[in-house]
Structure 1
């Protein structure tokens, strides 16, 4: 049998725990009214996104089109660097690159920064070469921001959204074991599969 002091302490501890859990639920960043939202369903869990349609309309429309067409279904996070970002949306689990539509215009001059938890368009050295691949920043990567148009690097990488839930899933992915697979480095040893990306209906 518990004495009254022990019981009171237990109730107090329970109250604190319930308050903490409530705060976690209520303190998740919410999407701004009117912005599209999406969920990346992965083999590690779900990642919720807010898409910045006003600031990156071309990138958002492009991402939504690929998602709704089923293009991302069964692709993987093929490039994972724990202190940098996780990149996916372009390769199958056997590292075959998927054919894409034409590239889009680089929107990195939209004022959005490559901060931890943002999602941005991946590209080659050509500033306007982004197609389907994207990456999620796992730390602040301001060196990827737009600073001008003098070179490929100064063009930057276009942020078009942010993670609103499931950042713990992103962090789990960032720390998976990686290896070299053919010409590709930083490939997860065990495939992290993007099962599908679901965009909320308007």
Structure 2
């Protein structure tokens, strides 16, 4: 008689754990990028890349992304934004955020289609405001024992059709869209 009760108790605990896991994902902050191509909603993971998410959210709160463009678009690779205005003038930034790529990778984040990562120079600790959305599975951007990789800190949860429209725009020199794709506003929606 005790065994069925124990199984029920175990099932209730397992269900509670599943619901709690869903609640954690439900609590993840979301940012809406309103663009001239449509809206994109990003879900961010502070539990996996806390400094990177805090950095991104501060730029959102400071309205830094408003009026910036997706200034580098490579179909089959990624779309990059967050640093330049439509005249390709770079916006000033705060000091770089510490690289968290290996930690985020160890917690399950990968440079896969629809994920969002920080852009940087060859210096792993150089990421400031620029980010990119992967439009392909870019495993070569993930950290390895020898390479730092790029810090993934979120994913597109709405508007992947918009991302796909952006990745297909005609580009010119340095992969800059011929017609600017502007982020008109970035707002925290949750």
Specify the TM-score bucket, using the shorter chain as the normaliser: 0.7 to 0.9
Tell me the residue number matched to 2:113: 116
User: Using the alignment, how far apart are the partners of 1:146 and 1:178 within structure 2?
Assistant: 29
Residue deviations 1:160-193 (CA, integer Å, cap 9, x gap): 000001000000000000001xxxx000000000
User: Using the alignment, how far apart are the partners of 2:167 and 2:81 within structure 1?
Assistant: 12
Unaligned 5+ segments in structure 2 are 1-22
Tell me the residue number matched to 1:44: 37
Q: Could you tell me whether the CA contact under 8 Å between 1:68 and 1:198 is conserved in 2? A: yes
Unaligned 5+ segments in structure 1 are 1-29
1:157-196 to structure 2, matched below 5 A, reads 157-180=150-173, 185-196=174-185
Q: Could you tell me whether the CA contact under 8 Å between 1:76 and 1:192 is conserved in 2? A: yes
Tell me the residue number matched to 1:199: 188
TM-score (norm 2): 0.84
How many residues end up aligned between the 2 structures?
A: 164
| Residue 31 of structure 1: how far off its partner (Å) | 8.6
Tell me the residue number matched to 1:107: 100
The structure having more radius of gyration, on CA atoms, is 1
Tell me the residue number matched to 1:65: 58
TM-score (norm 1): 0.79
